Structure 1
Amino acid sequence: MKLQNILIIKLRHIGDVLLSTPVLRGLRTAFPQARLTMLVNRGTEGVLANNPDVNEVLCLEKGSWDTQLKYVQMLRRRGFDGVVDLTDGDRSAVISLATGAPVRIGFNAEHRWRGLLYSRVAKPRQTDQHRVDYDLCALRALGLDTKPGAPAVYPSPTDEQAVATWMQETGLLSAQSSQLLILLQPGARYSLKVWPHERFAQLADRLADRFACRILLGGDQREREVAEHVARKTRCAPIVVAGKFSLLQFAALVKRCALFVGNDGGAMHIAATMGTPVVALFGPTYPQRWGPRGGPSQVIYKGLDCRACYHQTCLRGDESCMQQITVDEVCTAAGRMLDRAPARIET
């Protein structure tokens, strides 16, 4: 099978899009001359910037029915001969069919009607395999090799320089500064995935005292208030960087850090992809499927299976999965990771 114009669809969040990048690498290897276009939700496209395996990134329009119809008609005019839908959702399956592409690969884990809209349904070998490996099963459905792949993100020299300039201005990058940098990520997209803010504050102070390090508090613009709240509860005067950098600038920043500690989310995946040692805090999500891929990592997970319900409010109260993670065990895990890895500040 030889494809020349392929649409890849991933209508999820930042971490999901990043974890799908090994599929892009596999398609580029198999079809080096093909045009690869990726369709994502707006707000996630930044993680694909500078990726050499994709020619174009499109953001889905979600306005009125008329707007959506015109958008789908635009996709149809593109003349795709293949669609690889990595979303596992009904909307993307309809879009796949509407493109008119003769080859349409997609997932149907829920055994819904959407399976009828694909020319072939990708079937993972294991139910609970990691999402990277799960997505790569789409290549097998195309008759391609499914060698293990690692997610990739590509900060540009401009991104690197922006971070270096900021570090110089804040005194973190100078001949006199030799402190370790540790980035803590206290926010998350869903409240059930969040470790208590006061524990992040306690962790920040203990790490600063033990390792004479400088603490950064990360997050996007929506999580800046959370980061500032944590900062106010500390003694060590951490630097709040939440909302300050683009996705690729954040990648350039976290690459310079000796350690990342945070909840399951896109920032965790970016840190792991950049090779930064990671301590990942998991609660209602399943680390076997969503754990960090890339650099050295340690996952802290209590094994309380919330997947069957995943309510917006947890019925366990103080015994919830995230509440059971203590400051002591996170600090111990952080110490082990720092003992194994050198500082990563570089010019």
Structure 2
Amino acid sequence: MAVSSASASSERRVLVISPGWIGDAIMSMPAVQQFHAAQPDTEITVLAKPNLLPLWEMNPAVQKRLVYAGNGITALAILRGKFSAAYLFPNSTRSALLPWLAAVPERIGLAGHWRRWLLTSVATPPNDSAKQHQAWEYATILSATSSVLSRPQLVLPAVARDQATQRVAKLKRPLIGLLPGAARGPAKRWPADRFAETAYALHTQTGGSILAMGGASDAESCSVVAAAVGSSALNLAGTTEIPEWAALLGLCDVVICNDSGGMHLATAVGAPVVAIFGITDPARTGPLGTHDRILQHSQTQARAVPRTSAEAAEALATISVGEVVAAALEALHHGTRHA
């Protein structure tokens, strides 16, 4: 069981079980940050999947991290951690079973999937129109009392910042990030050819450079975007770990993206975001910045959508290249970044 630590232990130790998706993990960070601010002497350990460990290593509210390594090994690691409480952000039965097996005295989470008996306390989502966002569910689990949640915070490693700076050293400003992917699938993806048209239009009108970014599965769509611009574009899909990806997003003057983990990562590092939504509800899962621009035409606004959806595809198709270009130019003109 790999463990990383950022500080010495304190008297009270609590475990936070991270969501499994990068976007959800970032949306949970404001609650963890508020918990840490309210209880600075409590040591917070986050349990996360291996791919999310680098993300949580950049959050300053967390002192230790555990890596999920199978149910038995992970439950034993939790037992050895001697936690007084476990806060469960995922709704899965497994996330409740692990601290139950480790005999953690307090186990708090939403009712979830047939797991009430594994919890000592069931949190109830807030019934407040001002607290619809998913981030407030995590705050409720942690018993956060503030009326306002801060933006997710990430402290980028110096090596990641240096790598990102070197990659873009020869590119002309403005740096325009385009993220044509979305891990959830086609139901959240604006067509790649429209991202390409947007990239070409913005390059032509600003003289700037394009950074096409995403995971390895986004390589094909990012290649389409980069090809539309030529030598003034970089296709970085699948070539960066999370810290360098975050650093590259932080260097961008604007980021254009789908409703995705990359959208939340861009917001966390302060980049102005133009987010393209189909039928998912930005009031529940939108970016947590204060200067983001959301483009959506659909009257349907759902919490979750299937990976493929004709309705979502139609809704995304109604958003024009011109609208996206105009929103990006407005963001560039104002030059406002998140504090």
Question: Which of the residues 169, 176, 181 maps onto 1:182?
Answer: 176
Deviations 1:63-122 (A, max 9, x none): xxxxx22332332232211101111222212223222111111012x5x53123211111
Q: Is residue 162 of structure 2 the alignment partner of residue 161 of structure 1?
A: yes
* Secondary structure, counterpart of 1:125 in structure 2: coil
2:202 is the alignment partner of 1:207: yes
Q: Which runs of 5+ in 2 are unaligned?
A: 1-9
Tell whether 2:35 aligns with 1:22: no
Q: State the match for 2:5 in structure 1.
A: none
Query: Could you report, residue by residue, the CA deviation over 1:178-199 in whole angstroms, capped at 9, with x for unpaired residues?
Result: x211001111111211110110
Q: Aligned partner of 2:126: which letter?
A: R
Whichever residue aligns with residue 20 of structure 2, its letter is: R
Are 1:31 and 2:39 counterparts?
yes
**Is contact 2:210–2:229 with CA below 8 Å preserved after alignment?**
no
Matched, 1:77 2:88: no
Q: Which moved more, 1:225-234 or 1:147-156?
A: 225-234
Could you tell me whether the CA contact under 8 Å between 2:11 and 2:41 is conserved in 1? Answer: no
Q: CA contact under 8 A between 1:278 and 1:297: conserved in structure 2?
A: yes
Question: 2:101 — aligned with what?
Answer: 98
SS where residue 113 of structure 1 aligns?
coil
How far apart, in 1, do the equivalents of 2:250 and 2:80 lie?
Answer: 41
Partner residue of 1:285 out of 280, 285, 289: 280
Structure 1 residues 276, 95: CA separation in 2 closer, same or farther (over 3 Å shift)? same
39, 57, 61: which one aligns with 2:65: 57
SS of residue paired to 1:53: coil
The unaligned stretches of length 5 or more in structure 1 are: 63-67
How many equivalent residue pairs? Answer: 326
Does residue 8 of structure 1 match 2:16?
yes
Q: Which residue of 2 aligns with 1:192?
A: 187
Query: 1:310: how far off?
Result: 2.9
User: What is the alpha-carbon distance in structure 2 between the residues aligned to residue 146 and residue 79 of structure 1?
Assistant: 32
Matched, 1:255 2:258: no
Residues 106, 138 of structure 1: 8 Å contact kept: yes
The residue type equivalent to 1:6 in the other structure is: V
Using structure 2 for the length normalisation, give the TM-score. Answer: 0.87
From the superposition, tell whether residues 184 and 14 of structure 1 become closer, same or farther in structure 2 (CA, over 3 Å): same
Instruction: Give the secondary-structure state (helix, strand or coil) at the position aligned to 1:321.
Output: helix
Q: Is the 2:275–2:294 contact (alpha carbons within 8 Å) kept by the matching residues of 1?
A: yes
Distance 1:196 1:158 in 2: 34
SS of the aligned residue for 2:20 comes to coil
Moved more, 74-83 or 298-307: 298-307
In the aligned structure 1, how far is the partner of 2:147 from the partner of 2:15?
19
TM-aligned CA deviation for residue 207 of structure 1: 0.6
Whole-Å separation in 2 of the counterparts to 1:147 and 1:343: 19
SS in 2 for 1:206: helix
Counterpart Cα distance in 2 of 1:284 and 1:153: 29
For normalisation by structure 1, the TM-score amounts to: 0.86
Distance 2:134 2:38 in 1: 21
Give the Cα separation in 1 of the matches to 2:96 and 2:121.
12
1:116 aligned partner: 117
| Residue aligning to 1:65 | none
1:3–1:31 CA contact under 8 A, matched in 2? no
Deviates more, 1:302-311 or 1:93-102: 302-311
Identity over the aligned pairs, expressed in percent? 27
Please list the CA deviations of residues 291-343 of structure 1 after superposition, one character each: whole Å capped at 9, or x if unmatched. Answer: 111251110112343748833432348x6221121111111111221121169
Q: Aligned letter for 1:184?
A: L
User: SS of the residue aligned with 1:292?
Assistant: coil
